[in-house]
Amino acid sequence: MSFIIHKTKKDKVIDACIYTVLTVAALVTLFPLYYVIIVSLTPYIEVLKNGGFVIWPEHWTLQAYKEVFQSARIPQALKITVFITIVGTTLNLVVTTLLAYPLAKKSVPGRNFILMAIFFTMIFSGGIIPLYMVVRSIGLYDSVWALIVPGMVSTFNLLIVKTYFENLPVEVEEAARVDGCGELATLWRIVLPLSAPIMATIGLFYGVTHWNEYFKGIFYISDKTLMPMQVVLRSMIQTPNISTELSLNSLVLDALPPETIKMAVVVVATLPMLIIYPFLQKYFVKGTMLGSIKG
pLDDT digits (tens, 9 = 90+) for 82-115: 999 999 999 999 999 999 999 988 888 888 899 8
pLDDT digits (tens, 9 = 90+) for 220-245: 998 888 999 888 888 877 765 665 55
Alpha-carbon distance 242 to 232, whole Å?
Answer: 11
The pTM (predicted TM-score) of the whole model is: 0.80
- List, as own/partner pairs, every contact residues 279-285 make where C-beta atoms lie below 8 angstroms and the sequence separation is at least 24, other chains included: 280/200, 280/201, 280/203, 280/204, 283/196, 283/197, 283/200, 283/201, 283/204, 284/200, 284/201, 284/204
Residue 58 has pLDDT above 70, yes or no: yes
What structural domains does the chain harbor?
Answer: 62-295 (1.10.3720.10)
Residue 271 has pLDDT above 50, yes or no: yes
- List, as own/partner pairs, every contact residues 100-109 make where C-beta atoms lie below 8 angstroms and the sequence separation is at least 24, other chains included: 100/158, 100/161, 100/162, 100/165, 101/165, 101/183, 101/187, 101/191, 103/158, 103/162, 104/162, 104/163, 104/165, 104/166
pLDDT digits (tens, 9 = 90+) for 134-167: 999 999 999 999 999 988 899 989 998 998 888 8
**In whole numbers, what is the pLDDT of the chain averaged over residues?**
82
Residue-wise burial string across 183-199, b where 16 or more C-beta atoms lie within 10 A, e elsewhere: eeebbeebbeeebebbb
Task: Find how far residue 161's CA is from the centre of its chain.
Answer: 18
Residue 277 has pLDDT above 90, yes or no: no
